[in-house]
Amino acid sequence: MNNQTSKTSVPALDKTVRICNYLFNSPGATFSQIQQDLGLPKSSTSSLLTALVEHHFLRQERGRFFLGLKLYEWGNRSLEQFDISKVARPVLEKLRDSTDLICHLGILDEVAPIYILKLESAQPIGIKTWVGKKLPLHSSGVGKALCAWLPPETIDTLLPDETLPRYTDTTITCKS
């Protein structure tokens, strides 16, 4: 887990974001796990967790913490304000209807594609994706489509290692 603090001028906000990021990657963590893994003082961890639960950014069940519905609400509102998904929806609907396949729209967010629109097909295809999901750039259809249009130097920056991690039998594991 990344214990580095950022250089923000608002330490409490930095700790809050670190807690939320931690729970995004480790749902159901206990107070002790959060406090120890992030290297935060017990008192500020307790205060921040209490405030985050009170404001519905986190929820607590049997001593374990999870992301709350307020973040879901904000994420959905953010997507509503993302004009590209509104513009792309009719195009993706035509594509889905003509191919009878699931269609995704994704954008590059830092080093990974994030799905901002998913249209299901009538076919019973079990692809475990959802709006808001991030997948590695080299091992997802959206990621490979994005790479096809990126300059080689950008791909080298995003994927600095020549050997890439394997996730399935068909994962591309070499940049060249």
| Long-range CB contacts (within 8 A, 24+) of 139-145 | 139/164, 139/165, 139/167, 139/168, 139/171, 139/172, 140/106, 140/113, 141/104, 142/104, 142/105, 142/106, 142/113, 142/115, 143/106, 143/112, 143/113, 144/172, 145/106
- Measure the CA–CA gap between 103 and 116, rounded to whole angstroms: 11
Query: How confident is the model at residue 141, as a pLDDT?
Result: 86
Query: pTM of the prediction?
Result: 0.56
> Within a domain: residue 126?
yes
Which segments of the chain have a pLDDT < 70? 1-8, 126
First vs last C-alpha separation in the chain: 30
> Within a domain: residue 96?
yes
If asked whether residues 151 and 88 sit together in one domain, one would say: yes
**Model confidence pLDDT, tens digit, residues 98-134:** 999 989 999 888 888 988 889 988 877 767 788 888 8
Q: Would you say 63 and 30 are in contact if contact means Cβ atoms under 8 Å apart?
A: yes
- Where residue 48 sits, what CATH number does that domain have? 1.10.10.10
**Model confidence pLDDT, tens digit, residues 85-101:** 888 999 999 999 999 99
108 lies in which domain range? 82-158
If asked whether residues 27 and 91 sit together in one domain, one would say: no
Query: How confident is the model at residue 7, as a pLDDT?
Result: 64
- Measure the CA–CA gap between 117 and 130, rounded to whole angstroms: 8
Query: How confident is the model at residue 5, as a pLDDT?
Result: 55
If asked whether residues 86 and 153 sit together in one domain, one would say: yes
> Within a domain: residue 22?
yes
Domain count, the chain: 2
If asked whether residues 86 and 141 sit together in one domain, one would say: yes
> Within a domain: residue 151?
yes
Q: Would you say 147 and 155 are in contact if contact means Cβ atoms under 8 Å apart?
A: yes
